Amino acid sequence: NAGVTQTPKFQVLKTGQSMTLQCAQDMNHNSMYWYRQDPGMGLRLIYYSASEGTTDKGEVPNGYNVSRLNKREFSLRLESAAPSQTSVYFCASSPAGHYGYTFGSGTRLTVV
């Protein structure tokens, strides 16, 4: 099925551990995004990539790094996880223009 695929779906980390969240889209979209969703706070943009080879900080980039590996893939890395990074993470992609986002199904991350 065409769309945005995120892996893993669930993950538990210990404080200080690192991990990479993977995201891939097969719709030939130019732009890709990483959001976190927390209760009562809606969606907050962590990083985005307007096109292959570029990345920019969003609203809450601290503690995260990203890599736009190619047009299809956009990964999010936590170098040293903290309990404050417990959240649900969503990857999204969009074509050029104002056509809205396509979201992945999310990664539920718990840091203990």
Smallest distance, Å, CB 98 to other proteins? 4
Task: For CA atoms 37, 52, 18, 102, give the dihedral sign.
Answer: positive
Scanning 11-19, 20-28, 71-79, 102-110 for contacts with other proteins by CB under 8 A, the matching segment is: 102-110
Q: What's the rounded Cα separation, in Å, for the pair 35 and 51? A: 17
Half-sphere exposure (Cβ direction) of 75: Cα atoms closer than 13 Å: 12
Smallest distance, Å, CB 102 to other proteins? 8
Q: 112: which 2 tokens? A: 């203990």
Q: What's the rounded Cα separation, in Å, for the pair 52 and 50? A: 7
Instruction: Work out which of 28, 105, 110, 112 binds other proteins, going by CB under 8 A.
Output: 105
Scanning 20-28, 41-49, 67-75, 78-86 for contacts with other proteins by CB under 8 A, the matching segment is: 41-49
| Look-up of token digits 């417990």 | 86
* 101 near other proteins, judged by CB under 8 A: yes
Tell me which residues touch other proteins (CB under 8 A): 4, 33, 40-43, 45, 50, 90, 92, 98-106
